């Protein structure tokens, strides 16, 4: 049994990690930490865990000392010292924040206004979308868990870009997220009277996930990819729907694209290419690690339209982090995260 710990266990992604790790067949949740609630049992903050997980929130150092693998669910800029401590102690480290997602320190400085404190750690860290970079993840010590928007986009576009059937310029990504994507700390835009019965775009063409999306898509395509990314806030708790528009190359037959997607994802446990005519819906992946994809071709405009849905708290955060952990420890990739989505 691997001993796992969560730093930042009282945030939304952190408590999802704990909830999922509790049902993992090869993991014991050995320690958790929270700055805001240190000394309190987790079940006191989240009563749904009463008599299930009454672990006391301790310090980050206690988590590192007690565990074989440490998950950090922290705001950007706060994970680098923890990563350094884990490496020194010989522990695996999986960061759900942004500190190990970007290859370029210049991009990190520009988009997050922070510096890479330990450049040598970034040289050995790996970016963890298993379906795209599975071979790179095995055997590593530090994993940068992807952002939720970039996960839905990368899984939705990988087959088309890898096969080279679309142009790499003029890609438009129209994405919508539930309110949990903003974290547990309330803000004006996530205050109930502001977001209920509301629907709006935010940070159009300026969202911090833009460089992460472009970095991943460029690696898949083998050439520089630029995108226009416009996120929106939906008045729901969880879920992401990304609708993406790409220009098909002139010689590509529209009917061949579906076969391409079905073939590339046929052996993936968590990616479902839906049958023709069945639209994707966030409710159909809720509380699961699935990504559902549907594709359409507009013959009039020669556009490929891809829709992709995930649960931002699971495949977009905690579930994918555990999927990465499974790869690091040689467990079955689906262990602990093979939940079936509820029907309603």
Active site residues: 148
The residues that bridge with 292 in the sheet, in sequence order, are 272, 309
- Geometric angle at alpha carbon 202, from 201 and 206, rounded to 5°: 125
Kindly tell me the sign of the dihedral angle through the C-alpha atoms of 291, 222, 140, 97.
negative
Q: Which helix (H) or strand (E) holds 82?
A: helix 80-89
Q: Which residues neighbour 9 within 8 Å (Cβ) at sequence distance 6 or greater? A: 15, 17, 18, 32, 33, 34, 42, 57, 73
> Cα–Cα distance between 143 and 255 in angstroms, integer?
37
Q: Which residues neighbour 311 within 8 Å (Cβ) at sequence distance 6 or greater? A: 238, 239, 240, 282, 285, 286, 287, 288, 289, 290, 319
CB-based contact 269:333 (threshold 8 Å): yes
CB-based contact 301:283 (threshold 8 Å): no
> Cα–Cα distance between 201 and 203 in angstroms, integer?
7
The residues that bridge with 243 in the sheet, in sequence order, are 174, 307
Q: How far is CA 42 from CA 8, 11, 21, 284, in A?
A: 11, 11, 14, 29
* Residue 281, number of CB atoms within 10 A of its CB: 15
Could you tell me how many residues make up the chain?
344
- Start-to-end Cα distance in the chain: 34
The residues that bridge with 93 in the sheet, in sequence order, are 70, 142
């Amino acid at each position: 049994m691997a001993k796992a710990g969560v730093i930042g266990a009282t945030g939304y992604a952190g408590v999802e990690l704990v909830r999922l790790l509790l049902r993992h067949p090869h993991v014991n949740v050995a320690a958790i930490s929270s700055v805001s609630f240190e000394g309190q049992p987790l079940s006191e903050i989240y009563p749904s865990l009463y008599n299930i997980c009454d672990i006391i929130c301790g310090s980050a150092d206690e988590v590192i000392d007690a565990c074989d693998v440490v998950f950090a669910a922290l705001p950007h800029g706060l994970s680098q010292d923890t990563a350094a401590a884990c490496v020194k102690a010989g522990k695996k480290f999986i960061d759900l924040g942004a500190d190990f997602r970007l290859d370029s320190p210049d991009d990190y400085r520009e988009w997050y206004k922070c510096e890479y404190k330990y450049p040598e750690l970034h040289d050995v860290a790996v970016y963890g979308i298993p379906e795209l970079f599975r071979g790179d993840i095995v055997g590593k010590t530090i994993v940068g868990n992807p952002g939720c928007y970039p996960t839905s986009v990368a899984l939705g576009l990988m087959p088309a870009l890898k096969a080279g059937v679309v142009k790499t310029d003029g890609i438009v990504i129209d994405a919508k997220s539930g309110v949990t994507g903003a974290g547990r700390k309330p803000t004006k835009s996530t205050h109930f009277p502001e977001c209920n019965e509301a629907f709006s775009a935010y940070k159009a063409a300026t969202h911090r996930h833009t460089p992460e999306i472009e970095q991943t898509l460029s690696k898949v395509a083998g050439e520089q990819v630029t995108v226009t990314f416009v996120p929106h806030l939906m008045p729901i708790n969880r879920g992401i729907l990304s609708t993406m528009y790409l220009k098909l190359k002139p010689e590509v037959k529209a009917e061949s694209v579906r076969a391409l997607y079905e073939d590339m994802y046929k052996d993936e446990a968590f990616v479902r290419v839906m049958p023709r005519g069945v639209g994707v819906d966030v409710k159909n992946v809720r509380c699961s690690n699935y990504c559902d994809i549907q594709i359409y071709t507009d013959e009039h405009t020669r556009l490929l339209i891809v829709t992709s849905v995930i649960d931002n708290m699971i495949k977009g955060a905690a579930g994918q982090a555990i999927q990465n952990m499974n790869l690091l420890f040689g467990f079955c990739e689906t262990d602990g995260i093979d939940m079936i989505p509820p029907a309603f």
